[in-house]
Structure 1
Amino acid sequence: MYPLPLRPARGVAFLAVGGLVLDSVVGLGAIVIDLQRAAFIDQVVADPMSATLEEAEASDALYALSGMVEIGVYVLTAVAFLIWMFRVRANAEIIAPDEQRHARPWAIFAWFVPIISLWFPKQIVDDIWSASHGNPNDPWPRSRLVTLWWTLWLIGNWVTWAAARLLFNAQELESMASAARFDAVSCVLMLMAAVPAALVVLRISNAQEARRAAPLSPVPPSPAPPYGSPAA
């Protein structure tokens, strides 16, 4: 008998990293648009006659389009990341089932359940990392790389939420400018989080691919019963 084979992780890893790269490119564009938006509003506040109605409408339209593109690409990136995470979580259960603190469906549901979404996903990735590497002398302990990604991602999401609240409640031009600047900061934090996220994806996937390529060891047969003992 042989252990269950691991499923390929490299393809879904490229999908997840590609989503992170695309999201980062869109984030860079959003930063530029956010800062231009804030500067334009500051200009109008300082001198209401310095901009035409057409310029104001064009600024509004570009800002709204940027937000829709951000949301769309973010959703696509999240889907790609979840596909990767579910695949490597299934492999981790084959490699080290006793090391997984949460059942496999939590690899998806943990992101959407309030409160526990603040730490369950990180625990799941920690367990996947541990099972995939299985090396206490690894030069990049999971407590550094995974924690760095998770911390930046949580802070970035909080700033994004704050920017959305500011924009939703904005009654004055100054509040709209503040919302644009908050969104720019959140994009910077998400860009920073994308780097360790991509490294986590690649390192876990490479470790699982190395295990997958290694020759399988057969499970040793059970010892024969002593002579004269009844057969099982």
Structure 2
Amino acid sequence: MHTPPSSYQGSTPHPPLRPVRGVAVFAVVVLACDAFIAIVAAMIDLWYAAFIDRVISDIGSASESEKMTADLVYALSGILWVAVYLVSIAGFLVWLFRVRANAESLAPDGHRHTRPWLIFGWVVPIISFWFPKQIVDDIWHASARDGEQASPQVLIDVWWAAWVAGSLVANVAARLLATALFAGDDLESVAFAARFDLVGIALMLVAAVLAICVILKITKAQEHHRAAASL
């Protein structure tokens, strides 16, 4: 378990904390939209896989226009989910920058990584598996009130595990689908890739819900500090 540095408990006055609730609401809304689109994408995955199964069992059971429509709907659902997912990432990062700035005011020496890593930590290979979580851990420990230091650690751990696992599975599913489509007539592999994608969607859905919980927990803690400072 991460142990907060002694500076967390220091009495040195810190700069005024900036409001968090507005950016938190934005992040929660876009993550909720991402979760909804993920559910829609999962339903389309199931429908598309069943359609492919029907074509495999009886190639004449679907016209060329039906096949083109099914392919288009499946492709568009994937594009829509990726687009909403990218917006949800942007919303999360906007919130993350705000709470990190506040956390630095609360605990100037309580952070293992500098601000640029709030972006680079997600994209640099290998270290992206743990840097972002360490950043969120440090923000929480800086923001938590007395007696709350350990309470959300399991929440953050499970959120991060779900996000990493979901990202890896989604990447594998995309590669399987690309390989199957490149093969051209390997419809069984296309159906398998569509069903395998459900695993990644389920994990990313769990990660989105848990991310909302993490946002609400840290936002509540920092808003408590702001309210206390105004007294």
What TM-score, normalized to structure 2? 0.89
Match of 1:152 in 2: 162
Partner of 1:186: 200
**1:11 aligned residue (9, 19, 22):** 22
**Structure 1: 5+ residue stretches without partners:** 218-232
CA contact (8 A) 1:23 1:73 kept: yes
Q: Does 1:120 align with 2:131?
A: yes
Contact 1:33/1:66 (<8 A) preserved: yes
Q: Which runs of 5+ in 2 are unaligned?
A: 1-11
Distance of 1:175 and 1:161 partners within structure 2: 16
1:174 counterpart letter in structure 2: E
Alpha-carbon shift at residue 182 of structure 1 (Å):
1.7
Residues 19 and 80, structure 1, Cα contact 8 Å, conserved in 2: yes
The CA distance in 2 between the partners of 1:25 and 1:118, in whole Å, is 26
Q: Indicate how the Cα distance of structure 1 residues 81 and 32 shifts in structure 2: closer, same or farther if over 3 A, else same.
A: same
The 1-side partners of 2:229 and 2:187 are apart by 65
Asked if 1:41 is matched to 2:55, the reply is no
Instruction: Tell me what 1:76 maps to.
Output: 87
The aligned amino acid for 1:200 is V
**Could you tell which deviates more after superposition, 46-55 or 118-127?**
46-55
CA displacement, residues 124-180 of structure 1 (integer Å, 9 cap, x when unaligned): 000001111043x32862320000100001111111001100011112111111111
Within the candidate set 59, 72, 75, 1:61 is matched to 72
Partners of 2:82 and 2:95 lie apart in 1 by 20
What secondary structure is seen at the aligned counterpart in 2 of 1:8?
Answer: coil
SS of residue paired to 1:110: helix
- The corresponding residue for 1:104 is 115
Whether the 8 Å CA contact 2:48–2:191 is kept in 1: the answer is yes
Match of 1:176 in 2: 190
2:177 counterpart residue number:
167
Number of equivalent positions: 216
Q: Does 1:138 align with 2:148?
A: yes
Partners of 1:186 and 1:199 in 2: how far apart?
Answer: 20
Q: Following the alignment from structure 1 to structure 2, what is the Cα–Cα distance between the partners of residues 133 and 83?
A: 20
The 1-side partners of 2:179 and 2:31 are apart by 30
1:2/1:216 contact within 8 Å kept:
no
- Alignment partners' CA distance in 2, 1:212 and 1:88: 12
CA apart distance, 1:190: 1.1
- TM-score, scaled relative to structure 1: 0.89
CA distance in 2, matches of 1:152, 1:51: 38
User: Deviation of residue 98 (structure 1)?
Assistant: 1.5
Q: Which residue of 2 aligns with 1:201?
A: 215
C-alpha distance in 1 between matches for 2:24 and 2:189: 40
Q: Is the 8 A contact 1:145 1:200 kept in 2?
A: yes
Aligned partners of 1:143, 1:215: CA distance in 2, in Å?
A: 26
1:99 offset after TM fit, Å?
A: 1.3
Q: Percent identity?
A: 52
